[in-house]
């Protein structure tokens, strides 16, 4: 696991994702490489899991899914996004940046830990918010009433379309990327 983590950090660094400016530029649509890579990872993971299920290597019905609390998850995502655009890192890219000696990454990591501690210490204060809007456990195929194969192909199509759309939007707003 440690070796995979080191290799992942190395890949983040080589791709430029340990650069706070690159992460921040994503939110201004100046550099959409990060979401394009995320779309690629999601599509690859979906195809891989579906393929392993088809081959009988993995029983997809045995997979664990987190319960959905829609509004609290959206609020958490929004707060996480504010942190990313402000600090220029997510937790993984911050660790990769810290490994290269970037002090701003250390400040971000300290803030991340302090925020996590505050969340835990004051959980009774926002427990009602955290537990609101319970939606249970659901999957895309079940929610849409389609087969798992169709839902995987839908995810792949959205990933491809999203990647192309983001690249076109970046080009339209900011011109050709240097």
Q: What is the pLDDT of residues 127-172, one digit of tens each?
A: 999 899 999 998 899 899 999 999 999 999 999 999 999 999 999 9
The predicted-structure confidence for 89-111, as pLDDT tens digits, reads as follows: 988 899 999 999 999 999 999 99
Predicted pLDDT of residue 109: 95
pLDDT at 1 over 90: no
Element (H, E) at 81: helix 70-87
- Which of 32, 33, 40, 36 is closest to 155 using CA atoms? 40
- Percent of the chain scored above 70 by pLDDT? 99
Of the CA atoms within 13 Å of residue 173, those in its CB half-sphere come to 14
- Its pTM stands at 0.81
The neighbouring-strand residues paired with 68 are: 136
The predicted-structure confidence for 3-14, as pLDDT tens digits, reads as follows: 998 998 899 899
Instruction: Report whether 71 contacts 2 (CB < 8 A).
Output: no
Quote the mean pLDDT of the chain: 92
Predicted pLDDT of residue 178: 53
Predicted pLDDT of residue 85: 87
CA 147 to chain centre: 25
CA distance 88 to 139: 31
Question: Which tokens sit at 42?
Answer: 């999601």
CA distance 23 to 119: 25
pLDDT at 51 over 90: yes
CA distance 20 to 88: 4
Question: Which tokens sit at 18?
Answer: 């340990």
């Amino acid at each position: 696991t440690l070796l995979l983590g080191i290799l992942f950090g190395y890949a983040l660094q080589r791709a430029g994702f340990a650069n706070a400016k690159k992460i921040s530029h994503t939110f201004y649509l100046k550099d959409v490489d990060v979401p394009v890579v995320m779309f690629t990872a999601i599509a690859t993971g979906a195809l891989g899991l579906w393929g392993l299920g088809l081959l009988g290597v993995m029983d997809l019905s045995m997979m664990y899914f987190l319960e959905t609390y829609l509004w609290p998850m959206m609020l958490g995502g929004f707060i996480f996004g504010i942190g990313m655009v402000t600090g220029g890192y997510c937790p993984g890219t911050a660790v990769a940046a810290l490994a290269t000696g970037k002090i701003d990454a250390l400040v971000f990591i300290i803030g991340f830990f302090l925020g996590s501690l505050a969340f835990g210490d004051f959980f009774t204060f926002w427990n009602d918010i955290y537990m609101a809007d319970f939606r249970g456990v659901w999957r895309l195929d079940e929610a849409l009433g389609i087969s798992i194969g169709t839902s995987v192909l839908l995810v792949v199509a959205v990933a491809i379309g999203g990647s192309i759309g983001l690249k076109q939007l970046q080009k339209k707003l900011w011109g050709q990327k240097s």
